[in-house]
Amino acid sequence: MVIEYASRTENIEYAIRDVVVMAQKYENVLYLNIGDPNKFDSSTPQHMIDAASAAMTKNFNGYAPAEGILEAREAIVEDAKKKDIKCTTDDVIVTTGVSEAIELALSALINPGENFLTPNPGYPLYTALVSKLDAQLNPYDLSEENNWQPDLKSIENAINEKTKAIIIINPNNPTGSVCDKNILSQILKLAAKNNIVVFADEIYDKLVFYEKHVALASVAGDVPVITFNGLSKSYLVPGWRIGWMIFHNPNNVISSYTEAIRKLVRARLCANHPLQYSIKPALLGPQVHIDEFLNKLRQRGAFTEKRMNEIPGVKCNPITGAFYAFPTINLDRFDFKSDKEFIISLLKEEQVLCVHGSGFGRPNAFRIVFLPPMDTLEEAYNRIERFCKKHAIG
Ligand code: PLP
């Protein structure tokens, strides 16, 4: 007997984890592939662990309200206010990571054959959801020449009568770039003109190196925005799976849509109950760990950029946020034919694991996660440099 799987799974790829299978064959691999800060020299603030553990002891182990516990939603509203996002607890839904928030928000919006604009390069969960929802892939470019800023012309050209939303990832994964305020305003204008919702994936908003992050919802005016955020990255708990979405719903233009989201939210019962008690202590408690984390990231990001730009045939744009670099490779100057071959050979010959750019939509690049400590990065970049010199042609 053979059971056939659903064809919608055929195009789903998650390169970040797919490459790990290859790496398991080798010893002493330096892993620069996964954006999990807890794998290196950062760990969860103790007061968050205490709050979650106290909640379990108090037997808050049953189901939570579908939209999340009030205490957590109040803290999310307080935190949003600091970023000039106006909202009430009714605008907030706590989810199983940002991943679930994204899936719920898109599932309640997109009919088969419709589309939402995804950044290219961009985070692969969005393209996986295109397949899951039987939607049409509709990417827009981030401009390599303009430090990976969203390309307004490309957005304008991509919008069609079946476009319902645009995704902005700011700071961006995989590029480590932060959007200019001016470009955000232009995107909002295009959204207003074309009647589309803006999704602001701001999971890295507290990991901006040199300036203050501008929350899209804070400058959106009459344009509806759904903001995604969570504890995974800045609060060092990716395994806790705690995220949320916040509705910016001017003049109630998305009220029937948010009600559709709520239906899906009720149907999946709730996000992890006891861990929701860590949200208030995280957002409103001491933030020292963020400064410490940011100091490390600034140093490691600058080092990554410098070392990559020293390699002939490799170019890395300025890194201004998150913990990713996305150097481009001039394939004409090396003896491998594709970004994937580059990544596989690098693993085989030097035991360094990065992710090929095509996993994010760009076949002439690769992604580095610069979370490891400086000595590991130094060793990894020495190996990458040696590898590139060995494979240079001309
Ligand atoms: N959005 C972006 C841009 C990400 O980079 C990630 C994780 O790497 C997520 C969402 C998923 O976040 P969560 O752990 O909250 O599901």
Contacts of 39 (CB under 8 A, 6+ apart): 31, 371
The DSSP letter of residue 63 is: P
Is residue 232 in contact with ligand 1, taking CB distance under 6 Å? yes
CATH number for the domain harbouring residue 305:
3.90.1150.10
What pLDDT score was predicted for residue 23?
85
231-251 residues labelled b (16+ CB within 10 A) or e (exposed): bbbbbbbbebbbbbbbbbbee
Count of domains observed in the chain: 2
The DSSP letter of residue 333 is: G
Nearest to 34 by CA among 48, 21, 53, 47: 21
Residue 121 counted as domain residue: yes
Same domain, 254 and 385: no
Residue 272 counted as domain residue: yes
Same domain, 78 and 26: no
Same domain, 241 and 386: no
| Coil, helix or strand at residue 106 | helix
Q: How many whole angstroms from 36 Cα to the centroid of ligand 1?
A: 10
Q: Probe ligand 1: pick from 16, 106, 232, max atoms within 8 Å of CB?
A: 232
Q: How many whole angstroms from 374 Cα to the centroid of ligand 1?
A: 24
| Coil, helix or strand at residue 77 | helix
Is residue 282 in contact with ligand 1, taking CB distance under 6 Å? no
Sign of CA pseudo-dihedral 234, 367, 179, 226: negative
Q: Of 284, 309, 333, which one is at a domain's C-terminal end?
A: 284
Is residue 124 in contact with ligand 1, taking CB distance under 6 Å? no
Is residue 35 in contact with ligand 1, taking CB distance under 6 Å? yes
The DSSP letter of residue 135 is: -
Same domain, 55 and 37: no
Cβ atoms of 164 and 110 within 8 Å: the answer is yes
* Distance separating alpha carbons of residues 318 and 209, to the nearest angstrom: 11
Same domain, 165 and 253: yes
What pLDDT score was predicted for residue 66?
97
What pLDDT score was predicted for residue 7?
86
CATH number for the domain harbouring residue 218:
3.40.640.10
Strand bridging mode 324-325 / 366-369: antiparallel
Cβ atoms of 370 and 301 within 8 Å: the answer is yes
Residue 156 counted as domain residue: yes
* Distance separating alpha carbons of residues 285 and 48, to the nearest angstrom: 9
Is residue 99 in contact with ligand 1, taking CB distance under 6 Å? yes
Give CA 46 to chain center in angstroms. 25
Same domain, 171 and 269: yes
For residue 335 the two structure tokens come to: 């003896």
Same domain, 297 and 170: no
Q: How many whole angstroms from 16 Cα to the centroid of ligand 1?
A: 12
What pLDDT score was predicted for residue 362?
94
For helices 15-23 and 339-350, the axis angle rounded to 10 degrees is 30
For residue 121 the two structure tokens come to: 């390069």
CA distances from 321 to 98, 143, 147 (A): 18, 17, 12
Same domain, 276 and 298: no
Q: Of 269, 284, 299, which one is at a domain's C-terminal end?
A: 284
Residue 96 counted as domain residue: yes
What pLDDT score was predicted for residue 193?
96
Q: Of 242, 266, 284, which one is at a domain's C-terminal end?
A: 284
Same domain, 138 and 104: yes
Is residue 176 in contact with ligand 1, taking CB distance under 6 Å? no
Cβ atoms of 347 and 304 within 8 Å: the answer is no
Q: What is the largest CA-CA distance in the chain?
A: 68
**Number of neighbouring beta carbons within 10 Å of residue 28:** 5
Same domain, 89 and 207: yes
Cβ atoms of 327 and 175 within 8 Å: the answer is no
* Distance separating alpha carbons of residues 320 and 210, to the nearest angstrom: 7
Residue 185 counted as domain residue: yes
- Structural domain boundaries, residue 308: 7-43+288-390
Is residue 281 in contact with ligand 1, taking CB distance under 6 Å? no
The one-digit pLDDT tens for each residue of the chain (394 residues) are 889 898 888 877 777 777 788 888 898 999 999 899 999 999 999 999 999 999 999 999 999 999 999 999 999 999 999 999 999 999 999 999 999 999 999 999 999 999 999 999 999 999 999 999 999 999 999 999 999 999 999 999 999 999 999 999 999 999 999 999 999 999 999 999 999 999 999 999 999 999 899 999 999 999 999 999 999 999 999 999 999 999 999 999 999 999 999 999 999 999 999 999 999 999 999 999 999 999 999 999 999 999 999 999 999 999 999 999 999 999 999 998 899 999 999 999 999 999 999 999 999 999 999 999 999 999 999 999 999 999 999 7
What pLDDT score was predicted for residue 179?
97
What pLDDT score was predicted for residue 343?
93
Residue 1 counted as domain residue: no
Same domain, 107 and 205: yes
Residue 93 counted as domain residue: yes
What pLDDT score was predicted for residue 19?
78
Q: Probe ligand 1: pick from 118, 175, 203, 324, max atoms within 8 Å of CB?
A: 203
Same domain, 156 and 61: yes
The DSSP letter of residue 253 is: T
Residue 2 counted as domain residue: no
